[in-house]
């Protein structure tokens, strides 16, 4: 279901009724005569729908985290806000950039339209920019031949379905345009760096070389290489390829709700920023 399109159509429909009543129908009614219900309700809802549509399209949009691919950074059930103007203003629905403001940086957590199915939204971390050579060997990332600094940070455990999973936790550091950007990742020492049988055919596949230790990919112009922080539980660019710039919807920056966090009176996540 394309919620953005439905919201757009509702806003246009109620706006048309508001304009018709404002400039035509209201003049034919007597003083104090109430508007019929088919006019009153759309006119009442139009300002609310318009405000929601503008905020959602150009300022911030809410999303819910559905999977474990971004643990430990984001957990299942987190409700997050995505900055819609961080990388430029885009036309609603068609997502065409009309005012460029900036570009994703290494380490940014971004929401984007899934290249395999653009009607579906994904969230991952940008690890490779256009022109970068991304190498993932023995669970360690290197960009343009330079290994990303990382340090061990204990272990991380979570419930995956009916299984209790435990992985090693690391603090990794990306070069975000000359600034150091630290974030947390998780990896299982027993899992391979990539599952070759899951790698699909995708545009630019010839730019990648897969081997038993991992892979090396050169990111094409106008595209990004993304990975989940939970490296061994993430379906990402390793398997379906690069994210075109026009698929990027915004940068995730804030956790505003998590029911388990609130109901357990933990308040560890709600109100925190996303690194």
- Residues with catalytic annotation? 69, 124
Q: How many helices (H) and strands (E) does the chain have?
A: 5, 17
Find all residues with CB under 8 Å of 252, minimum gap 6, and list them: 63, 74, 80, 81, 82, 83, 109, 110, 111, 123, 274
Structure tokens at 263: 């109901």
- As a whole number of angstroms, the distance between CA 133 and CA 186 comes to 22
Whether the bond into 131 is cis, omega within 30 of 0: no
**Crossing angle between the packed helical segments 3-20 and 37-58, to the nearest 10 degrees:** 130
9: three-class secondary structure by DSSP: helix
DSSP 32-77: TPPPPHHHHHHHHHHHHHHHHHHHHHHTEEEEE--SSTTTTTS-TT
257: three-class secondary structure by DSSP: strand
Burial of 184 (0-12, 13-18, 19+ CB in 10 A): middle
């Amino acid at each position: 279901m394309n919620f953005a399109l439905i919201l757009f159509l509702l806003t246009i429909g109620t706006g048309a009724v508001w304009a018709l009543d404002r400039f035509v129908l209201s003049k034919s009614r007597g003083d104090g005569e109430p508007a019929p219900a088919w006019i009153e309700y759309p006119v009442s809802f139009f300002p609310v729908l318009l405000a929601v549509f503008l905020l959602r399209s150009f300022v911030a949009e809410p999303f819910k985290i559905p999977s474990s691919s971004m643990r430990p950074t984001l957990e299942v059930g987190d409700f997050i806000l995505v900055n819609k103007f961080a990388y430029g203003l885009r036309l609603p629905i068609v997502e065409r950039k009309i005012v460029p403001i900036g570009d994703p940086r290494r380490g940014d957590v971004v929401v984007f339209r899934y290249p395999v199915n653009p009607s579906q939204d994904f969230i991952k971390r940008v690890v490779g920019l256009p022109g970068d050579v991304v190498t993932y060997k023995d669970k360690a990332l290197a960009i343009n031949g330079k290994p990303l600094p990382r340090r061990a940070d204990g272990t991380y455990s979570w419930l995956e379905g009916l299984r209790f999973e435990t992985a090693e936790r690391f603090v990794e550091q990306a070069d975000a345009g000359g600034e150091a950007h630290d974030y947390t990742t998780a990896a299982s020492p027993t899992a391979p760096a990539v599952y070759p049988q899951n790698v699909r055919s995708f545009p630019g596949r010839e730019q990648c070389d897969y081997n038993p230790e991992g892979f090396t990919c050169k990111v094409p112009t106008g595209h990004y290489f993304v990975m989940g922080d939970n490296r061994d539980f993430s379906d990402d660019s390793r398997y379906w390829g690069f994210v075109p710039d026009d698929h990027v919807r915004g940068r995730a920056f804030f956790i505003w709700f998590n029911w388990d966090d609130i109901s357990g009176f933990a308040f560890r996540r709600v109100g925190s920023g996303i690194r």
